[in-house]
Structure 1
Amino acid sequence: MPEMNESKKLSRWSLTNAAEAGQVIVVTCHHCRITHRYLPQDLLQFRDDVSLDRLSRHFRCERCGNGRYIVLKVHDPFGADFGNLPIRRLEKVQIKKVPVWKDGVL
């Protein structure tokens, strides 16, 4: 039987489902050829629980600043991955203060 399309798999799977299953979110920029791996629990701390096919829109490459070449996959870690797989962990969330100006009359 043929394998299901990857985008259909991701549309039925959310961050909460991935966290409960112990999966890792793999985000790759095909322009820079750089890959980062995230735990779904860390992403849920500052992102709503969305389906994984919509999650890739929220990522931009840190190197090239582009979001068009971002591809998201789900990885099920197995025995050899534990202790060897590099994962990006959330250290803290910084909030930028940006002034908003309104023109008025004196």
Structure 2
Amino acid sequence: MFEHTFIGLDVHAVNVVGHALNPATGEISNHTMASDPALVLEWLGRFTPPLKVVYESGPSGFVLARYLRAAGINCVVAASSKLLRAPGDRIKTDRRDARVLAEM
């Protein structure tokens, strides 16, 4: 079976919070790093390919997506207004946002 590692990123100007989920092994990893595409790519290098990465669109733009795609990583920028949220899900933390994206 062809399995991916799913990664959600909560991207901000100062930092990026990542949440990785490998459904085959059950491995979960969380990491906070500076908002530098090279550091994000370095963290992603810890996981067995293929990877599927997603982050919400916002003021950070598409710089990170272009950088990751140039490195051969499947990266999607999702419109935050189109993401489904559970009713009553009002607790917002960077780690939780990254987890929700990885689990989509």
TM-score by length of structure 2 reads 0.30
User: Which structure ranks higher in relative contact order (CA pairs < 8 Å, sequence separation ≥ 6)?
Assistant: 2
Structure with bigger gyration radius:
1
Structure number having the greater strand percentage: 2
